[in-house]
Chain A
Amino acid sequence: MDFSFLSQPAFSGGGTYLDWVISGIKWTLLVSILAWIIAFTIGSVLGVLRTTRVAWLRTPATAYVELFRNVPLLVQMFIWYFVVPEILPKALGTWMKQGMPMPEFWSAVLALGFYTASRVAEQVRSGIQSIPAGQTQAALATGLTMPQVYRHLLLPMGYRIVIPPLTSEFLTIFKNSSVALTIGVLEMTAQARTISEYTFRTFEIFSLATVVYVLITLAVTVLMEFVERHVRVPGYIGTGK
């Protein structure tokens, strides 16, 4: 393997191919982290709504989950980029296409965020529903209201229980962010493809891309392990200690 091409001047833009790689990493991180913020926030709200006994809160949340998790991510990416501006009011649609900075970037963030939210919602729901009904009864019996039971019992325990699958979801969002290349976001995979076309160093650049993704996801894994250790409940089943 010969990585000397990285320091060569790139075909355009004035920098080296290494600069292209760094720029790819930057956009991969930006798309993924912003999408995760959306996914975690909306997913948590939807997950909670899906556990309530109030039908008019639960049904729309169920509909959201079934819609967004059942359409391929690639299709959703295209819909946010190509279709949404057309079905919005004309002025807003035109602004999205012409006035809004970085339309492909924001479309990718929204597509990935709203798609992943449906998956986070299911995990939050499963966490809450895995808590025995007796716990809720005991909390209600002390005079707490249902919102207080969520705040002080169901959410703190529910999130703890689903940290492992949520970690996987957080890792998946970095890998899924590569789909954004289809609507023109120059993230890591897109940059690797471009560099490969200009330098014919296909093997090297995709090996590098692989290492970059693995390093990012390992960093996330370490972070989440820290979180898991930090919130571990002493003596609780399933914590392994």
Chain B
Amino acid sequence: MSMIEFKNISKWYGSFQVLKDCSTHIDKGEVVVVCGPSGSGKSTLIKCVNGLEPFQQGELIVNGQSVGDKTTNLPQLRAKIGMVFQHFELFPHMNVTANLNLAQVKVLGRSVDEATAKSQMLLNRVGMIDHAHKFPGQLSGGQQQRIAIARGLAMDPVAMLFDEPTSALDPEMINEVLDVMVELAQEGMTMMCVTHEMGFARKVAHRVIFMDKGEIVEDAPKADFFGTPRSERAQQFLSKILHH
């Protein structure tokens, strides 16, 4: 069963086409890595999933609901899809627990006690329980990103979206974030990850999607992608990022 299904999605900024007839799907429990050069449309594609980026053509079904349909309740749909951003985007004026509690209380209607219990459970899981009362500005990038993942999980999502979660991190902090993501993948979470971390892809991805100039150039099972990528463009890309 497809959790997320893209059917011929196209998007334009003015006359510039950023997404060209993109079709793919992410099944329940599947981990899909999206990679490609900068400006290829990866982030735009992932932000279409929860309606942060509108698209002009095609159909996108998420958890049985059509994202482009004007009658779809977007906040309700978004509440079921966790999202992690490149720059963490924790709310700077709230401490860590308040960051995790906000949507639980305001969107799901949990009581503050229920929300706090859930938050503490998740902070424990991402190894951040000792920092529950700190503010985002007092934490390192890797710590902030682990909290951002916990914030997404606090909503009991049916799928998680990751938009370059390690690109803004110092090299030494990348692994602490990837470890959390690997664990999540191994527990069977449905995940769509825009990332250049090919080690992560090799370890837990089921499929790899390669994008270039707004098109899905390659959409292959992990073994095929790393074994014999069919497109020359993907081969070039891989050789560039793997030899560093």
Contacts and interface: CB of A to CB of B under 8 A. Distances in A.
15 contacts: A134-B85, A138-B85, A138-B148, A140-B75, A140-B78, A142-B152, A143-B79, A143-B155, A144-B107, A152-B91, A235-B92, A235-B134, A235-B137, A236-B93, A236-B135
Interface stretch (A67-75, A113-121, A153-161, A166-174): A153-161
A142 B79 contact: yes
A135 B52 CA distance: 12
Contact of A233 (B82, B93, B106, B139): B93
Interface residues of B, number: 34
A142 B85 CA distance: 12
Contacts of B86: 134
A137 interface: yes
Contacts of B135: 233-236
Contact of A139 (B47, B91, B137, B152): B91
A241 to B, nearest CB: 10
Contact of B138 (A140, A148, A234, A237): A234
Interface in B37-54: 47, 50, 52
Interface of B: 47, 50, 52, 75-76, 78-83, 85-87, 89-93, 102-103, 106-108, 134-139, 148, 151-152, 155
Interface in A95-112: none
Chain A: number of interface residues, binned into ranges: 20 to 34
Given A141-B78, A143-B107, 15 more contacts: A137-B52, A138-B89, A141-B52, A141-B81, A142-B102, A142-B152, A144-B106, A144-B107, A152-B102, A231-B93, A233-B137, A235-B92, A235-B137, A236-B93, A237-B137
A233 B135 CA distance: 8
A152 to B, nearest CB: 6
Contacts of B91: 135, 138-139, 152-153, 157
Contacts of B138: 234-235
B87 A148 contact: no
A52 interface: no
Interface of A: 132, 134-135, 137-145, 148, 152-153, 156-157, 160, 231, 233-237
A152 B103 CA distance: 10
A141 B87 contact: no
A157 B75 contact: no
Nearest to A159: B93
A142 B103 contact: yes
B43 to A, nearest CB: 11
A160 B137 CA distance: 15
A177 B87 CA distance: 46
Nearest to A134: B89
Contacts of B47: 137
A4 B41 CA distance: 79
Nearest to A152: B102
A37 to B, nearest CB: 25
A234 B136 CA distance: 8
B114 to A, nearest CB: 16
A137 B90 CA distance: 11
A141 B80 CA distance: 9
